[in-house]
Amino acid sequence: MTVVLVRHGETSWSRQRRHTGRSDIPLDREGRRRATALAPFLQTVPPAALILTSPLQRAVQTAALAGLGARAEVCDDLLEWDYGDYEGRRTSDIREEIPGWSVWTHPIVGGESVEQVGVRADRVIARVVAHGGLVVLFAHAHVLRILGARWCGWPPGHGASLTLEPASVSVLGHEREVRVIVHWDVVQFDLLAAELGR
């Protein structure tokens, strides 16, 4: 079983490092370019693969530009973290009011806790396991980082130690019976194409 995680391409808000949870921000020009650059790599995804995407347009657009949009099912559990009162704000600005603030360590007023996002990630993992074959997930930085942590059996907050660039690809799998991170935050897709096509 292989799980491919694809973070959406860049948006105006991600470029500004603003917390973009449920705001439905489209890809910008660079985001569209980088999403399109995924297509040669993802063309190796076989027809039997399960393709899931967050319903937010930046993920849906990335799946479409990468060539898998017509095959993608919308999965609400792949929505980005609900940042509540911190939506649209930058960590640096929030820290002027709350020194040391982090989405990983402080309460998210009016939004989801990291544990609640972890529950959603667990549901996605259960669906992946039930499928049993190759799965490609198009979603967002924080939810995918949490999903990576939960895949390995770590607490959801351990996603803080995993970073993701826009339009990056990560691969989850197994070493014997142990769930592992095979590749993380790859932006040179040709290095993975042969492996995915095995």
Residue among 47, 39, 51, 40 at smallest CA distance from 4 = 51
Q: What's the CA dihedral at 4, 5, 9, 11 to 10 degrees? A: 170
Nearest 5°: the CA angle 100, 105, 106 is 80
CA separation for the pair 163, 177 (Å, rounded): 25
Q: Which of 8, 19, 142, 158 is catalytic?
A: 8
What six digits make up the tokens of 166? 């826009």
DSSP 90: B
Active site residue 96: no
Span between the terminal Cα atoms of the chain, in Å: 12
Residue among 98, 87, 31 at smallest CA distance from 61 = 31
Q: Which of 10, 19, 30, 80 is catalytic?
A: 80
Active site residue 140: no
Catalytic residue numbers, as ranges: 8, 80
